[in-house]
């Protein structure tokens, strides 16, 4: 499996180009020592994914994604909508929907479901945020870094920040919230920690 070298140009692309090339080289060396056809195919797929990032001009998006992994925050989203109708309109008018990507609809996580062969497309609710908050609260609710009497006060505080942290635990009228900033789409959202509590309740009812 010989790697195709990415062109080297200045700035961030040169650094990420070196990273991609070196990663593809490493995958190639591992491929040469691998006997399993199934594992060889997986290595091919990993190398092709890296080449795809470069070939399709997604270098900066890849850099931003890798940087986002260094911050504690919920899963990234590609879009946020106030209503389901607004989301459905966007999906219907998007020529190539971002299949399997997360979006926010009315403050709730959904996955973009799309089948290219039949052009079937819809949104499916996904519990990734519940899982995330559940993990955050396994040892108790984290302390709030800011406290507000009303949601309006909290919104004013959040919206007036030019570059908010990826996430901040706050308290509004005695209830804890996670204030999340999605830098890739410049979107701010607040999620009550009670989401995790409701999940616990659902699990107990299921049991």
- 58 versus 146: which is more confidently predicted? 146
pLDDT for 2 beyond 70? no
The residue-averaged pLDDT of 91-114 equals 96
pLDDT of residue 19: 86
pLDDT for 3 beyond 60? no
Q: Where are the domains of the chain?
A: 12-68, 80-206
CA distances from 196 to 1, 110, 159 (A): 46, 17, 25
pLDDT for 172 beyond 50? yes
The residue-averaged pLDDT of 96-106 equals 96
Burial (CB < 10 A; 0-12, 13-18, 19+), residue 190, is middle
Banded model confidence at residue 130, pLDDT cuts 50, 70, 90: very high
Instruction: Indicate the pTM of the whole model.
Output: 0.77
Take residue 62 and report the two structure tokens written for it.
């890849």
pLDDT of residue 197: 73
Banded model confidence at residue 201, pLDDT cuts 50, 70, 90: low
């Amino acid at each position: 499996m010989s790697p195709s070298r990415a062109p080297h140009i200045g700035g961030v692309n040169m650094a990420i180009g070196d990273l991609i090339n070196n990663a593809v080289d490493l995958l190639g060396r591992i491929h040469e020592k691998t006997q399993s056809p199934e594992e060889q195919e997986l290595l091919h797929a990993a190398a092709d994914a890296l080449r795809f990032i470069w070939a399709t001009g997604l270098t900066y998006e890849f850099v931003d994604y890798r940087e986002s992994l260094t911050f504690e925050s919920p899963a990234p989203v590609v879009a946020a909508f106030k209503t389901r109708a607004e989301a459905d309109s966007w999906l219907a008018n998007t020529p190539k929907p971002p299949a399997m990507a997360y979006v926010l609809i009315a403050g709730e996580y959904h996955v973009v479901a799309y089948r290219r062969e039949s052009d079937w497309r819809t949104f499916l609710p996904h519990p990734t945020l519940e899982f995330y908050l559940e993990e955050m609260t396994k040892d108790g609710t984290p302390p709030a870094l800011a406290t507000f009497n009303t949601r309006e006060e909290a919104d004013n505080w959040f919206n007036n920040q030019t570059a908010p942290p990826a996430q901040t635990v706050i308290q509004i009228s005695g209830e804890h919230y996670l204030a999340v900033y999605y830098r890739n789409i410049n979107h701010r959202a607040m999620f009550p920690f009670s989401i995790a509590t409701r999940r616990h309740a659902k699990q107990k009812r299921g049991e």
